[in-house]
Amino acid sequence: MKNITLSFLSANIANSSIPEPVVNFFKSVAEENGLAALLSSSENIEFNEFVVNKLKYLLFGTADLLQAMFTVGIILLYLFFILLDFERLSESWTLYIPKRWRNVTIKLWDDLVYGMNQYFRGQALVAFCVGVLFSIGFLIIDFPAAIAFGMFIGILNLVPYLQTLSLIPMALLSVLEAANTGDDFWMIFLSALIVLAVVQVIQDVFLVPLIMGKRMNLHPAVILLSLSIWGHLLGLLGMIVALPLTTLILGYLKRYHEIAEISGYTEESTFREAIDSASFGDKGIIAEDKPSVEEP
């Protein structure tokens, strides 16, 4: 320990991180009080190693915490300045897009934003219904914190299939209930799992096709397939943007083939025309009417 301490102090002196008079002061105090001999005694070796390791972890942990706080502060600072000029940035970002693709890009962006709004509104309604169903199911089986925990699972359901994370708090609540009532843990946990499975079936068979299918104009099988594909490609973000992107792509492809058959344009012009004519309808779904023809 003595050698480690002296080596550490010597290295810091060489790096000019600690003033030399300060180091000399601590050396003299250690020698006068016999601290160096105490630290180097054989019976304290394990304790010294333990203290050194803990101090090292403490220093590294503090450094990581300070770095994380600094990073968060920089991000918040950037967000602050972005919000100050948000209106100007939102109006001028299109100027950086080439004129050739400006209208198409704006159209794509507007449709994507509208689709995301419709998706989150529908998903919020699904999440609320799921939360109510979970609360009712947990009340029936007399599960602890039934309403609060049920609505918590509903909030998790804003992201598809994120409610699987509720298994951990479900197990903890089952342990607390078993300890409080003396009932068998596995019976309590199994009852909660049955509620979870029943509500999941109701959600997939009835709620999602009824609410999301009508809002996004997608078949339930397409909804499940798009969630699987986009979730595999982009993870959690992919599951959030899966339905809006799938709706846009299918709508634009449909318009592309319709216009190509009617007009026989080149690929580039047909693509632009498809984007210009395809749009979200008033009910939040891709319009089903054929491309409109401008009146003379």
pLDDT of 189-244, one tens digit each?
A: 999 999 999 998 998 888 887 887 777 777 777 877 887 888 888 887 787 778 88
Nearest to 183 by CA among 192, 215, 290: 192
The range of the structural domain enclosing residue 159 comes to: 100-277
Q: What 3-state DSSP class applies to 280?
A: strand
Q: Are 76 and 111 in the same domain?
A: no
Same-domain pairing of 131 and 255:
yes
For the ranges 122-131, 219-228, 249-258, 284-293, which has the lowest average pLDDT? 284-293
Return the SS3 of 295. Answer: coil
Contact by Cβ (8 Å): 138, 146: yes
Examine the domain organization and report whether 75 and 195 are in the same domain: no
Joined together, the tokens standing for residue 82 give 């972005």
Q: Do 39 and 149 reside in the same domain of the chain?
A: no
Residue 54, burial from CB neighbour count under 10 angstroms (0-12, 13-18, 19+):
exposed
pTM of the model: 0.55
How far are the Cα atoms of 108, 151, 253, 255, 256 from residue 249, in angstroms, in the given order? 10, 33, 6, 10, 10
Question: How far is the C-alpha of 165 from the C-alpha of 125, rounded, in Å?
Answer: 20
Do 131 and 51 fall within a single domain? no
130 with 253, same domain? yes
Q: Is 255 found in the same domain as 123?
A: yes
Name, in order, each residue with C-beta under 8 angstroms of 258's C-beta and a sequence gap of 6 or more: 274, 290, 291
Same domain assignment for residues 124 and 270: yes
Q: Is residue 139 part of a domain?
A: yes
| Same domain (yes/no): 268, 173 | yes
Q: 133 lies in a domain?
A: yes
Domain count, the chain: 2
pLDDT in tens, 135-154: 999 999 999 889 999 999 99
Residue 90, in any domain of the structure: no
Residue 198: CB partners within 8 Å, gap ≥ 6? 137
Based on the fold, state whether residues 117 and 165 are members of the same structural domain: yes
33 in a structural domain: yes
